[in-house]
Chain A
C-alpha cells in the first residue's frame, strides 16, 4: 500500500521562478489495482508519479510505502526502494540510444549484482513475452514506436517490481497500439501488480483495466471515482 499525506512539491523554492507542482495531496493507493491519474497538462500528474516512485522527495508531507515512511530517507535507500519496488514506463520511453533492446532491458538489473546469465535469460523471457524476441539484438533507435514502448515495459519488469508506474504511456501511440498497451497492463494487473498510470487519454482512464480514477488540476486532487471495474 502506498500512502501520501498532505504532500507538497515546490520547484525552485525561494527563487523568482518558484513553482508549486503538487499542493497538499493526500492519497492512498491499495495494492493489486490500477489507478489512473488524469488531468490537463501541468496539473501535477507527472510530479505526483515521481514522488510516488521515489524519484523526487516532497517539499513537505509524508509518503509511506508498505508501512515505511520513505519521504525522509537518504538518497541511497530511496534508490534501493525505487529499484526493488517500482518499474517505470516513461512518456518518452527514455531508452538509451546505441544500445540493443536486450541491453536496455537489462540495465536496471546491473547494480543489483545479479549474475549476467540470469539477467540475460530474464530479459529474453520478457522480450519474448512481449513479442520482441526477434528484435533483442536490434538497437532501440531502429524500432517502431510500439516496439520501443514494449522494450520500455520489459525494462520496467526486469527487477520484478510490485508497482508499475507509467507516465502518459499512450501519448505517442495510435489507437491500436494504445489498446495493445492496455492489454499488456491488464496482464500485469492479473499477475497481482499495482499499476499507477498518469494519462489524459480516455482510452486509458476509461479502460476496464482501470479500477480507480483520480482527477487532478493545479497540483490538487479534484475528484476521485471508481473506474469501469
Chain B
C-alpha cells in the first residue's frame, strides 16, 4: 500500500471517530436532511411513475384519434364519418370506439367503461381490471351492480378479468358489451366516443391529421405521440409546481445546514487549529471535512430515497400523489408502479450531496488556511 493510501485510510479512520464523537448533531442533520430528500424524491419518483404509467396506457391507443367538437368541447362522433375518413389517402382503417367515464354513485369512484369490438362480454356480463375486482371483493361469477343512465340498477355478472397495461387501468377498467355500454351511458345508436385510425406510414401522421382537419373542420385529430408529450408535460409541470412550493423548506434547510453544519463550532475550529498545529496540511483538513460531509449527506440521501421508494410502494402512498394527479380528478385508489430512473436518482444525489459539501467544506477551508496559532487563540 502506498503512503498516499495510508494517509487516506488514516483520515477516514479519523472521520469515523469524529462522526461518532458528534453523533447527536450528525444524526439530527441526517434526519432533517433525509426528510427534505424524502420529500423531493417522492415528487421526482412519483412524477416519473405517472409519466411511465401514462405512456404505457397510451401504447395501446391508435395512432390517430378523431373526435368531434361541439361548442368547443369533445362531443359524440357519428359512426357514419368512418366512410369519409377511410377515403383519405394513407388511412388504412377507421374504427368507432365506445368508451366513457362512469361515476359509480355507490362508491363515488370514476370508472373507465369500454365496449370493444373484439370478443366482447355478453350483454349482462362484464370483465373488469384485477385491482377493481379485488377492491370490490368480486370474483368471476360475482355480480357487479352499476347505475344506468336513467338511474335504474344494472346487474352485470363478472365473466372474466380484463387485461390491463397499467395499475390505473387495473383499478378502473370495465369491459362491457355495446348494448350494456349504451344502457349505462345513454349513448345513442350510430354514435361513438371517437374514431380510431390506423395509417399505412407513421411518417405521414401530421399530413393525414392536416387532411382530416381540412375534410372535417369540426373534427379534432389527436396524434398519439403528441398526447404522450402532453401527458409528460402536464406531469413535469405539476412536479415543477410542487418543487417550487418545496423551495421554502429546502431553502430553510440550506440556511440551517449553513448555520449548524457549516458554521464551525468553536470546538471544531479549535480542532482544526490543533490538527494544523501538529502538522496536518490544509488539504488534509479539507479532505477530512469532505469525507465527513459525504458521509452525512450520503446517509441523508440513502435514507430519503429509500423512504420515498417505501412510501410509494405502500398500498396508500403517503406522498404527494393527490397533488400530482390533480385535486379535481376522482380516480379510484391505485398504486403507481415505482419507477426509478438513473437520471432522477443522479439528480437527487447531486441535490443532496453537493450543497452540503459546499456548505461544510468552505468554512473548514477558511479555518484551515488561517495561521494555526490564530485559530487556536480564537
The judgment on whether A and B are partners is yes
Give Cα A83–Cα B283 distance, bound, in whole angstroms: 14
A65-107 CB contacts (< 8 Å) to partner B? 75-76, 79-80, 82-83, 88, 90, 94-99, 103, 107
Q: Are A113 and B280 in contact (CB under 8 A)?
A: no
Task: Give chain B residues whose Cβ lies under 8 Å from the Cβ of A115.
Answer: 1, 6
Q: Are B17 and A99 in contact (CB under 8 A)?
A: yes
Q: Are A107 and B278 in contact (CB under 8 A)?
A: yes
Q: Beta-carbon contacts of B268-312 to A below 8 Å, as 1s and 0s?
A: 001101111111111110000000000000000000000000000
Q: Smallest CB-CB separation from A79: which chain B residue? A: B281
Contact of B277 among A55, A76, A103 (CB under 8 A): A55
Q: Are A56 and B7 in contact (CB under 8 A)?
A: no
Contact of B371 among A46, A56, A97, A116 (CB under 8 A): A56
The count of A-to-B residue pairs whose CB atoms sit within 8 angstroms is 89
Q: Smallest CB-CB separation from A51: which chain B residue? A: B373
Q: Are A79 and B276 in contact (CB under 8 A)?
A: yes
Task: Give chain B residues whose Cβ lies under 8 Å from the Cβ of A110.
Answer: 7, 10-11, 14, 280, 284
Task: Give chain A residues whose Cβ lies under 8 Å from the Cβ of B369.
Answer: 75
Give Cα A111–Cα B369 distance, bound, in whole angstroms: 16
Give Cα A76–Cα B280 distance, bound, in whole angstroms: 10
Task: Give chain B residues whose Cβ lies under 8 Å from the Cβ of A82.
Answer: 277, 279
Q: Is B82 in the interface zone, CB < 8 Å from A?
A: no
Q: Are A94 and B284 in contact (CB under 8 A)?
A: no
Given contacts A79-B280, A108-B279, A114-B3, 13 further A-B contacts (CB under 8 A): A55-B373, A56-B372, A56-B373, A75-B281, A76-B283, A82-B279, A90-B277, A90-B376, A94-B376, A110-B14, A113-B6, A113-B10, A116-B6
Q: List 14 A-B contacts (CB under 8 A).
A: A50-B373, A55-B373, A75-B282, A75-B369, A83-B278, A90-B376, A94-B273, A96-B271, A97-B21, A111-B11, A111-B281, A112-B7, A113-B4, A114-B3
What 7 A-B pairs come out closest when comparing CB atoms? A113-B3, A83-B279, A98-B21, A110-B10, A50-B373, A113-B7, A108-B278
Task: Give chain B residues whose Cβ lies under 8 Å from the Cβ of A99.
Answer: 17, 21
